[in-house]
Structure 1
Amino acid sequence: CFNSYSFQVTANRLLASKQTIPHYYLTVDTRVDKLIKLRGELNPLQEASGGKKISINDLVIKAAALALRKVPECNSSWMNDFIRQYHNVNINVAVQTEHGLFVPVVRDADKKGLGTIGEEVKQLAQRARDNSLKPQDYEGGTFTVSNLGGPFGIKQFCAIINPPQSAILAIGSGKKPCYTFV
């Protein structure tokens, strides 16, 4: 799926990130029953009002944005001799295309509704697939969400930080809880 130029660009950015930004990985299994239930309750309301369905990814983006608002130290970048803490919460969303990996940005995600976030992500992802993103579509992000779980069924992965950001959230696939009755 990669052409050689886009593969080279992606590889160079990821290599630079691993060489210049300290990475450490934390893995947590979480229960998402309530998240799925919430989505199930919101989507009929969305449809009834003429809106588009809300995805799990939309909910994760909104939750990450609200968490960054609550813990602003995570909404920052290391700038060689100081840490820049951002006032805006701009969430990049990783999108893999035949042209390479793009990370378009949803600006002020903490202030937007789920329907707006979902629509923006769909539009940005389409522009990424069409190879028609402009610099303002992917510059200025303060945090990245990368979801390989929903679309690809990947259980867990170690995402690479998008420079100059200080963190990335890697989302793996969910599984139905297993209950054993004795």
Structure 2
Amino acid sequence: GIDLASVKGSGTNGRIIKADIDAAKPGDTPAPAASAASSATAAPATAAAAPAAAPAAQDFGIPHEVIKLSGMRKTIARRLTESKQQVPHIYLTVDIQLDKLLKLRAELNAGLESRKVKLSVNDLLIKALGVALMQVPECNVQFAGDQMLQFKRADISVAVSIPGGLITPIITQADGKGVAAISTAMKDLAARAKDGKLKPEEYQGGTASLSNMGMFGIKQFEAVINPPQAMIMAIGAGEKRPYIVDDAVQIATVMSATGSFDHRAIDGADGARLMQVFKELIENPMGLLA
């Protein structure tokens, strides 16, 4: 019986928390506007938290079905709108030869068969991004107004499509985990994500994200940064392409990877170094096992 529009949030960026609901009463009128003296400090947080006005529906007389947005879809819409409005994105793309990685994966899977572990290419890419972030710590950061956080480990949020939306379970300390451990953890997290059984700490946080749409045949795309993170790696499909190998044109398995970086925190040169290291690790994948 409480009108949320009448509740003044006391959480981060004006979010409504449990204590605000407990203190509210049904029928309360909206909280009065902030005084002129306090508006200077209140305005930035309020502006950051205010969702963009929803566009009016226009059916143009076309037969249609009205689908009510789920809470997850509303959250996705709000967060990604805020990201594109508030975060200056810079995009950097590299083409990466996959043949050595695919060969190593096959060899590892043969050795892991008795343990019933089967590595995916994505498991190895998670490891590569974790290691790359440790080698280029300038990209393992979070922008926080007049300061930045530089993280000492790489926790990789991995985009997983679930009914009604998208969720990003986290592989913690991806830089230090073995590839078999990453594979086992990822399968468990993805299965529980699709069943709606993840704990908040298993999908909230992370220092960077990885989104792979290669399984849908997408060649290349630019992902939206997942705030408050400062970068996300978008992975396209591995496909046979003409490619220069040892100064000669050959057919190789190549994928395109695009890093999206928060330009407030990460300079183009640092983002380029991360993409370079990521490419080198995948093209010389024995470094992932060290």
Could you tell me the TM-score, scaled by structure 1's length? 0.92
Residues 142-157 of structure 1 correspond to what in structure 2 (within 5 A)?
142-149=207-214, 151-157=215-221
CA positional deviation for 1:128 = 1.2
Residue 98 of structure 1 pairs with residue 163 of structure 2: yes
CA distance in 1, matches of 2:225, 2:144: 15
SS in 2 for 1:155: coil
Q: Which has the larger displacement, 25-34 or 165-174? A: 25-34
Residue 125 of structure 1 pairs with residue 190 of structure 2: yes
SS in 2 for 1:27: strand
Could you tell me the TM-score, scaled by structure 2's length? 0.59
**Is contact 1:62-1:109 (8 Å) kept?**
yes
Residues 8-157 of structure 1 correspond to what in structure 2 (within 5 A)?
8-48=74-114, 50-149=115-214, 151-157=215-221
CA distance in 1, matches of 2:68, 2:229: 27
Deviation digits for residues 68-93 of structure 1, max 9, x if unmatched? Answer: 11111111000011111011210000
Aligned length: 178
SS in 2 for 1:176: strand
Identify unmatched segments of 5+ residues in structure 1: none
**Is contact 1:99-1:129 (8 Å) kept?**
no
Deviation digits for residues 85-141 of structure 1, max 9, x if unmatched? Answer: 011210000011113110111111111111110111111111111112111101220
Q: Which residue of 1 aligns with 2:223?
A: 159
SS in 2 for 1:178: strand
Identify unmatched segments of 5+ residues in structure 2: 1-66, 244-248, 251-290
Deviation digits for residues 12-55 of structure 1, max 9, x if unmatched? Answer: 1111111121111111111111111111111100103x131111
User: In angstroms, what is the RMSD of aligned CA positions?
Assistant: 1.7
Q: Which residue of 1 aligns with 2:35?
A: none
Higher Cα Rg, which structure:
2
The one-letter code of the counterpart of 1:128 is A
CA distance in 2, matches of 1:70, 1:159: 22
Structure with greater strand share of residues = 2
Task: Name the % identity.
Answer: 49
**Is contact 1:3-1:99 (8 Å) kept?**
no
CA distance in 2, matches of 1:65, 1:114: 11
CA positional deviation for 1:8 = 2.0
